[in-house]
Structure formats: C-alpha cells, structure tokens
Structure 1
Amino acid sequence: MKETILYLIRHSESTYNQRKVYYGRIDCPLSEFGVRQSQLLKGKLKKVKFDQVISSPLKRCLHTATIITGLREQEILTVDGFKELDFGLWEGLNFEEIAANYPDNWEDWKRDWKRATPINGENFMEMYNRVTKALTNILQKYQGRKILLVSHKGCLQIIASYLLIQNENLFWNFDFKQGKYSVFEIIDNFCVLKKINC
C-alpha cells in the first residue's frame, strides 16, 4: 500500500504570539517576522509537490499556507476541526490575569487540564476528539497522497500523539516550532516520524 506523506506546519509568528497570551480563537494576522518565517519555509519546500493543502481557517494559518505554497486562499481546503483550543473568557489574557480574574476556573484547570473547561470555551478532550475526527477524515480522503497541513501548536501535538500511539499521552512530548516543518509517513495505520522541526 502506498504511503500517505503528511507535512505538518505550525503557523508562523502572529501578532498575539508577541503578547504572550492565550488566543486560541482570536483571529489575528501574522507579524512581520511571521511573514518572513513563511517566506523562508517557502524556499525550503519549493521542490515539494503537494496533492492537497489544508489549513485551519484562522488568518494566521491560512496566510502561512498561502505564502508557503503560492496558492490563493480559495484553493486551500480549510477545516474547522483544525482550529486551536477555544479558551473562552481566557482569550487575550496571560496566565497571571486568568488566575486573578477566574481563580476557581484556573485552579480547576491546573488540577485536570484535560477535562476542566475555560469559561465559555472548550476543554482539551473536546478539542482532541474534534482534531482526531478531522484528521481521520483527511487521511481517509487523501490516502496515498502528499498533504500539507498548516495548523496550531496544540492541534499538531494532538495529531502527532494520535498518529504514533492512537491516544493523547504524547501530547506534551512534542514542541512544534514556528517557521519549521515536520514530516510523518503513514502506511496502513502505521506511522513513522521522518522529520521534526526542520
């Protein structure tokens, strides 16, 4: 059976990365440095021909994907399942502000980060289920193809853990860097990590 080759890219630096806050669903643009990161990645991947390009619909991912591939936004498949965690009322706040404004909620999250839910947001296991469902659909639809997926750090950590051990337990073992790409090869549900943060 022919292998599916999955290139994973975390979106380049955004304007909110510079603020050091939680911003899962805030639809912010790339920073100037983020644009340069994407342009450098375009040079590194210029010889790779992708059969399908997929992105989170948020601006920072979609812009990263358009720069790297040269495609128009309309030519890129956007999938809601690959959005970052919805931090609800925590959006735009740093951890000190969250602890001060929502102390009980913050303590709940520190005790059980997988199942505690930021107020008006979603919890990790809800995100895990939506990301893995979206991934399964993509891998079935584009089996045997070369796929580029641009998403968010949390989503990519889930994808990597799921591909390698079929659960979330490797989530914290991955640290996807901005301006880098990683490659996974999947053959008949068996996955090999070929490159990371290149």
Structure 2
Amino acid sequence: MKWCDGNPRFEFLPEDRPTRVYLLRHGEVTTFERRTFNGQTDVGLTPRGLLQLEEVAARLASCPIRAVYTSDLQRSVRGGEAIAKACGASLFQMSELREKNFGLWEGLNAEEISNRDPEGWSAWLTNPADSRPGGEESYREVGERALAAFEIILRKHAGEEVAVVAHGGVNKVLLADALGQSPTALFRIEQKYAALNIIDYFKNRAVVKLING
C-alpha cells in the first residue's frame, strides 16, 4: 500500500462506528544508555521496560480489545504479551511491523554514525523519507509495508478495538499517515518508550485521539 500523502483511506471500514487502534511503542531496551539505532537487531527489554508496558496494560485492561499485534522482535512481543494478558486478547506476530532496517548503522549511536558516514547521515536528515541509511530501506518503504500490515488488521477487525505494539519508526509513519502528512513529518512526531497513541479509523478517514501518551 502506497503512503497516501493526503487524507487517510480505508474505504472498507464502517462510517458510523470507529475501528480503534491502541498503537504502542515497546518499553525501554537494554541499549538505551548508548542511544543506538537498533533497527531490526533483536535487543531485549530492561526490567523497567517491561514494567512500563505492564503499567500501560493495566490502563487498557478495561478496554474491549479483541486482539494484540506485534512485530516478531522480542522487545515488541514482550510488550504485546503484557497487553494481551491484561485484556484477555489473542496475540499475533507480523514481521511487517518490524522497525526500520538501518543496515550498517545498527548498533551505532548518532555521533558514531555521523563520524563514520557523514554523507549518509546528512542525506538522512535532509530527506528521511527516501534516503536509505546504512544501505537498507527508506522510511517510505517502511511506511508501505507497515500500512499493508495495518490494512490486514483493519479488515479483520472492522468496527472493533485492537492494540498494536510496534516500534518508534513504524509508529511515526503510521501516525503521519493517519494525520494526512507526508513522510517529512516523521521528525516532528515524538515516541517515548511505552508511548500510547490512539487512532479511530472510519471509512476513508482517521481521527487521532492521542499521541505519545
């Protein structure tokens, strides 16, 4: 599915009732002190990171969440398990919800990247949508695969409530799309650890109820 660069579109959804998505970022990871680009490297959660998601799960326990979706990376799956347990919901993994692949940049922090690959770093800051940092996928490509996964989820749960525990970059592209923004809006959206976002989807439109809560 192409990034819309305009109004959200899911023409198969009901007009009269929302399909609500509780979109979360995973909790604090073991590499947080170095602030590395983890990408698709399968880093784990710290004890605090797991607690962060358990606290969000307690907030969502009374919501009629029918299913919880995660990527297949453990930091996403562990958070999804906490949400699914609290809500009594089924848990599903989708590799399409993985974080952006940063290639050769993975495991490095911003200072290390800017020193080793100054041209690539500058290109990414200038055009985050279409540059391929570390030789891998662009954020536009991340958006296309994440939106394709979202379409599957929304078709399956039209008119229901679901939770998606994903990653900072993936969440940003999904939020930008829901807001009708182009990929250049990515760096204007914050996603802290265990961030909670709420999006109500209707036929051909989306209403963003909460960002980075």
Deviates more, 1:4-13 or 1:34-43: 34-43
Deviation at 1:169, TM superposition (A): 4.4
Q: AA paired with 1:97?
A: E
Q: 2:198–2:209: 8 Å Cα contact kept in structure 1?
A: yes
Is 1:116 aligned to 2:131, yes or no? yes
SS at match of 1:23: coil
Q: Percent identity?
A: 28
CA distance in 2, matches of 1:132, 1:167: 14
Q: How many residues align?
A: 195
Structure 1 residues 83 and 40 mapped into 2: Cα distance closer, same or farther (>3 Å)?
same
Q: 1:166 deviation in Å?
A: 6.1
Is 2:97 the counterpart of 1:78?
Answer: no
Deviations 1:114-168 (CA, angstroms, capped at 9, x unpaired): 2221234212221122112222222222211111000001111111111221643
User: SS of the counterpart of 2:133?
Assistant: coil
Alpha-carbon distance between aligned partners in 2 of 1:167 and 1:142, rounded to the nearest angstrom: 26
Q: How far apart, CA to CA, are the structure 2 residues paired with 1:100 and 1:55?
A: 34
- Structure 1 residue 177 and structure 2 residue 183: aligned? no
Which residue among 93, 101, 106 is the counterpart of 1:91? 106
**One-letter amino acid of the structure 2 residue matched with residue 87 of structure 1:** F
One-letter identity of the residue aligned with 1:118? P
Determine helix, strand or coil for the equivalent of 1:97: helix
Q: Runs of 5+ in structure 2 lacking a partner?
A: 1-15
Q: Which moved more, 1:106-115 or 1:47-56?
A: 106-115
- 1: CA distance between counterparts of 2:119 and 2:165? 34
For residue 150 of structure 2, the aligned residue among 121, 126, 135 is 135
| RMSD across aligned positions (CA) | 1.8
**Aligned twin of 1:4:** 19
Instruction: State the alpha-carbon separation in 2 of the partners of residues 4 and 191 from structure 1.
Output: 9
Q: Which residue of 1 aligns with 2:47?
A: 32
Q: Match for 1:14: what amino acid?
A: V
Q: Could you tell me how far apart the structure 2 residues matched to 1:55 and 1:83 are?
A: 8
Q: Does 184-193 or 108-117 show the bigger shift?
A: 108-117
Identify unmatched segments of 5+ residues in structure 1: none
Give SS of 1:184's match.
strand
Give the direction of change, closer, same or farther, for the CA distance of 1:104–1:170 in structure 2 (3 Å limit): closer
For the residues of structure 2 that align with 1:117 and 1:85, how far apart are their CA atoms? 10
Q: TM-score if structure 2 supplies the norm length?
A: 0.83
Partner of 2:31: 16
The residue type equivalent to 2:157 in the other structure is Y
